[in-house]
Structure 1
Amino acid sequence: MLKHVTFLGAAALSLSVTTSASAQDVAAGSDVTADTVVAKVGDTEITVGELIIARSMLPQQYAQFPNDVLFTGLVDQLVQQQLLADELEEVPASILYTLANERRGLLAAEVVNALSETAVTPEALQEAYNARFADAPDVPEYRASHLLVETEEEAAAAKARIDEGEEFAAVATDVSIDPAGQQNGGDLGWFSEGMMVDEFQDAILALDIGEVSDPFESQFGWHVATLVDERIQPQPEFDQVAPQLMGELQEAAVLAYLEELTAAATIERPEEGAFDPNVIDQIDLLTE
């Protein structure tokens, strides 16, 4: 859109000086509505409403230009488009089908918006938050560090160094083949049950805070681990999850309404095998 509109260049600025008064006159009118006519091409009227929609579809880069420049440019664009459109004697099928799809989509979006306003209220959002988080059971989380080596002998040697007083992080950085060991001193951060392989989880759950495990094996190799801390998983703040809850409420409202509409409507769908699915790629059908 607006590829041909060059009024945003230097020539446009001089053009706006001679035409911006018309924009001011329209804006100053006390009886201006979306149906107010701002231009005509033959018998075809171009309205304020069409200008507003055209303005709303401009890329963000056009926001830097003043409205008097944009007004003039958009009027010129719509006039030019209408001149060209009037030259088309027969509307191609592809355009008719495109318009049908766009109309269907726009009308459906209006219904979705109306449903959202009803379903997504502050009260509904708070209720959804409480149901999801406020009354949720406590979920314990654990913070652990580990080192990973290839053999039991290497794990035992690393454990001995820790037992003799070396810092766990220093030993992990020195010997671990796991990237976490090399980069973070083995710190794995916070995790809850079910997030780690069984052997690792079992070893961590058997430790007290600060205790270091004996070497144990998993599918990845030989580990030595320590439980750094534990806590109850903190619940997210309302503002953090409000967008997610809003989307879920909206989706639930739309799906419920669609079920009602589907039950009440007479709908015919193609029988299985009635069409070759590849028909959706046959663009040439639009020109037949």
Structure 2
Amino acid sequence: MTYTPTRASLVKATLLSVSLALPGWAQEEETVTEEPTSPSVTAETVVATVNGEDITVAHVAAARATLPQQYQQLPNEVLLPGLVDQLVQQTVLSQAIDQISPMIEIQLDNERRQMVAAQKIESVVSDGVDEAAIQAAYDAKYEGAEPTTEWNASHILVETEAEAADLVEQAREEDADFAALAKEHSTGPSGPSGGELGWFSTGMMVEPFETAVADMEAGDVQGPIQTEFGWHVIKLNETREKGAPALEEVRQEIVAELQTSAVEEAVAKLLEDADVERMDIETLDPAILTDPSMFQ
């Protein structure tokens, strides 16, 4: 029988959900009293022993950190006895196996490798992304940046040039209601909202549309303008010059860039210093990835 991580996660969640469903759980939750944690309790404190194998407070805390999201919301006083039960059940099940399958052994190798690598990444990110680095990256990216032009426009999208030309004439009439024309005639997704496109800047619209808008004055109506989507009648509502964003507006973007850069640099340095030998994988048949005999 093939044992996969997905099935492992399912079994883990099932064991806990069964424990939560037992009547004893409700009774225990009702009788729990809030008492301060004893100073003598440490990570090594044993909460259960199964056939001589200890389960510690640290094991329980680590199990809580990997619970499915639906259980993460439960209070610790509810989770604690359930997690102990879960670990006892897992321990007795694992002890009942005479020999761990080759696939499980390899998956454990991969899981340990992944978790240790993640710890190193966390360390790299923590060391490389602080407030000073964020400010320096912001200054380098935006200091002295020229203001950019942004446009606020509405449009009517139709299938033919003739339709667009006729709507241009109607939209240019005195007291014309562009929004009403868009709601009645536009085939685009903005039609129901009167053709409003909101604010946009260079590169956000297809080129013929953007070129037309860039040459317009606020209040102008232009068309027909053809793009890959059809024929447009465009009304420019307003323009503005927007300077550099405030740091808080782009903080998350800068943090993500710094994190990515820090990890990439760390990996590159480690690989440069590492003794890595690779075989020519071109000689491998990709079918080996799904060959069940690999784990027999």
The TM-score range, normalised by the shorter chain, is: 0.7 to 0.9
Equivalent position of 1:71 in the other structure: 80
Measured after TM superposition, the shift of residue 253 of structure 1 is: 1.1
Matches for 1:159-238 after TM superposition, within 5 Å = 159-165=168-174, 166-180=176-190, 182-213=191-222, 215-218=224-227, 220-233=229-242, 235-238=244-247
Equivalent position of 1:10 in the other structure: 23
Equivalent position of 2:46 in the other structure: 37
Equivalent position of 1:271 in the other structure: 280
> Residues 129-183 of structure 1, C-alpha deviation per residue, up to 9 Å, x if partnerless?
2323344332211122233445554444333333431223333334444443x32
> 1 CA distance for matches of 2:139 and 2:115?
34
Counterparts in 2 of 1:31 and 1:206: CA distance versus 1, 3 Å: same
Q: Match of 1:231, SS?
A: strand
Measured after TM superposition, the shift of residue 24 of structure 1 is: 6.8
User: Partner amino acid for 1:96?
Assistant: E
> Aligned pair 1:262/2:275, yes or no?
no
> 2 CA distance for matches of 1:65 and 1:175?
53
Kept in 2: contact 1:142–1:190 (CA 8 A) = yes
> Residues 97-148 of structure 1, C-alpha deviation per residue, up to 9 Å, x if partnerless?
1111111111111111111111110111122223233443322111222334
Counterparts in 2 of 1:247 and 1:197: CA distance versus 1, 3 Å: closer
Counterparts in 2 of 1:270 and 1:233: CA distance versus 1, 3 Å: farther
User: Partner amino acid for 1:126?
Assistant: Q
Kept in 1: contact 2:154–2:195 (CA 8 A) = yes
Select 1:140's aligned residue among 145, 149, 152.
Answer: 149
Kept in 1: contact 2:121–2:263 (CA 8 A) = yes
> Residues 215-243 of structure 1, C-alpha deviation per residue, up to 9 Å, x if partnerless?
45555554432321111236444334322
Kept in 1: contact 2:145–2:243 (CA 8 A) = no
> 2 CA distance for matches of 1:83 and 1:197?
63
Counterparts in 2 of 1:231 and 1:80: CA distance versus 1, 3 Å: same
Instruction: Flag the structure with larger Rg.
Output: 1
> 2 CA distance for matches of 1:37 and 1:47?
4
Equivalent position of 2:129 in the other structure: 120
The normalised TM-score by structure 1 is 0.83
> 1 CA distance for matches of 2:171 and 2:157?
14
Q: Match of 2:221, SS?
A: coil
Q: Please, which runs of 5 or more residues in structure 2 have no aligned partner?
A: 1-11
User: Partner amino acid for 1:171?
Assistant: L
Equivalent position of 2:6 in the other structure: none
Kept in 2: contact 1:115–1:254 (CA 8 A) = yes
Matches for 1:233-244 after TM superposition, within 5 Å = 233=242, 235-244=244-253
Counting aligned pairs with the same residue, the percent is 37
Equivalent position of 1:107 in the other structure: 116
> Residues 8-27 of structure 1, C-alpha deviation per residue, up to 9 Å, x if partnerless?
23223446789x79x979x4
Q: How many residues align?
A: 282
Equivalent position of 1:91 in the other structure: 100
Counterparts in 2 of 1:279 and 1:148: CA distance versus 1, 3 Å: same
The normalised TM-score by structure 2 is 0.81
Measured after TM superposition, the shift of residue 62 of structure 1 is: 3.7
Counterparts in 2 of 1:232 and 1:43: CA distance versus 1, 3 Å: same
